[in-house]
Amino acid sequence: MKLTETAEDILEAIYVLDKTKKVVRVKDIAKRLNVKMASVVVGLKSLAQKGLVKHEHYGYVELTSAGAKIAERVYKHHQLLFKFFHETLGLPAHIADKDACRLEHYLSPEGLERIVDFIEFIESCPEGAPTWLTNFFYFLQYGTYPETCLRKKIKLKLLNELNPGETAEIVKLNGSSQTKQNLLKSGFVPGARIKVLKKEDEKIFIELEGKETSLDLNTANQIFVSLI
């Protein structure tokens, strides 16, 4: 069900207010959203027609089961985006909150879900906060890359730059999302060992974790490695 930004905001406001108040009134919603009560009444009428809220004239406001499901999703997305902007990117809380609200309304559903999945992943990954986030904060603070990044950048080579007989470890993948997915499916994952066997006919022949395979040179230029 496609809802307007105002409708989603009202549903989310009811959901949040219901956690702290015994009953939710129109004036509570208007105060939270900083809008006029008349605007909330119009929005509630539309939501009631869609079966998402229960609201009688001058009465209390309640979410239906369908409305609660949408409100919970909107609230979850808002909280995750806020946390990402505030804690991960270091934006002030008031800016993070506004940007989270804007982003959740204007992104496509697919784009929003992908960002939410990414945020949940970096928070839940067993290894904890990735090193690159710490390096990112260093970059924000001092306007330059930390030495670890600079050293790593100097050491990295493109797979195609290696000579036959050289062995390296895959560090990262570049290219489009599809290219990265194809490489990962073929075993070209960070940490994997790779040895160059030969180059000919616009291809590079390699041994990947003990198995022989080949890549075209354009794809090989999307793989960064560190010599072993």
Model pLDDT, residue 211: 92
Model pLDDT, residue 174: 86
Tokens 């119009």 belong to residue: 42
* Residues contacting residue 72 through CB under 8 Å, at least 6 positions apart: 15
Structural domains in the chain, CATH included, are 1-129 (1.10.10.10), 148-227 (2.30.30.90)
On whether the CB atoms of residues 6 and 38 are closer than 8 A, the answer is no
Model pLDDT, residue 118: 84
Is 195 strand, coil or helix?
A: strand
The 10s digit of each residue's pLDDT in 158-206 is 999 999 999 999 988 888 878 888 999 999 998 899 999 999 988 999 9
The 10s digit of each residue's pLDDT in 108-148 is 888 888 888 888 887 776 565 567 777 787 787 788 877 76
Give the C-alpha separation, 205 to 214, whole Å.
4
Model pLDDT, residue 39: 93
The 10s digit of each residue's pLDDT in 1-59 is 788 889 999 999 999 999 888 889 999 999 999 999 999 999 999 999 999 999 876 67
Sign of torsion over alpha carbons 77, 31, 69, 1? negative
Tokens 């040895």 belong to residue: 195
Give the C-alpha separation, 161 to 220, whole Å.
9
* Residues contacting residue 51 through CB under 8 Å, at least 6 positions apart: 64, 66, 67
pTM: 0.61
Model pLDDT, residue 183: 92
